[in-house]
Amino acid sequence: MSSHKPCDPGDEHAHAAEPNPPERGSALSPTDSVTVVIVTHDHAAVIGTTLEVLGAQLRAGDEIVVVDNASVDGTAAVVARSAPATRVIANARNEGFSAACNRGAEAAQGELLVFLNPDAVPAPGFCAAIRRPRSDGSEWAAWMGLVTTDGGRLINTSGGVVHFTGISWAGEIGRPADAAGAAREVAFLSGACMAVPRDTWMRHGGFSPLFFMYCEDVDLSLRLRLAGGRLGLEPAARVDHAYTFAKGAYKWRLLERNRWATIIRTYPAPLLAAVAPALVATEIALVGVSLAGGWAPQKLAAAIDTGRALRRLLRERRAIQAGRTIGAAAFAASLSAELSSPHLGRVGSLRPLGWALAVYWRAVRRVLELSARA
Cβ atoms within 10 Å, residue 222:
25
Task: Answer for the pair 183, 234: CB distance below 8 angstroms, yes or no.
Answer: yes
User: Which CATH architecture does the domain made up of 34-241 adopt?
Assistant: Alpha-Beta Complex (3.90)
Q: Which among 217, 311, 302, 323 is positioned nearest to 262, based on CA atoms?
A: 217
Query: pTM above 0.95?
Result: no
User: Could you give the percent of the chain with pLDDT greater than 90?
Assistant: 79
For the chain, how many helices (H) and strands (E)? 12, 12
User: Could you give the percent of the chain with pLDDT greater than 70?
Assistant: 90
Question: What per-residue confidence (pLDDT) applies to 369?
Answer: 94
Q: Is the pLDDT of residue 23 over 90?
A: no
Question: What per-residue confidence (pLDDT) applies to 123?
Answer: 97
Q: Is the pLDDT of residue 14 over 80?
A: no
Q: Is the pLDDT of residue 67 over 90?
A: yes
Please provide the average confidence, as pLDDT, over all residues in the chain. Answer: 89
CA 119 – CA 151 distance, rounded (Å)? 12
Q: Which among 186, 360, 331 is positioned nearest to 268, based on CA atoms?
A: 331
The ranges of the chain annotated as CATH 3.90.550.10 are: 34-241
**pLDDT, tens digit (0-9, with 9 covering 90-100), for 222-280:** 999 999 999 999 999 999 998 776 667 889 999 999 999 999 999 999 999 999 999 99
Average pLDDT over residues 199-223: 96
Question: What per-residue confidence (pLDDT) applies to 134?
Answer: 84
Cβ atoms within 10 Å, residue 217:
24
Least confident piece of the model among 89-103, 337-351, 360-374: 337-351
Exposed, middle or buried: residue 371 (CB in 10 Å: 0-12, 13-18, 19+)? middle
The residue type of 348 is G
Question: What per-residue confidence (pLDDT) applies to 21?
Answer: 53
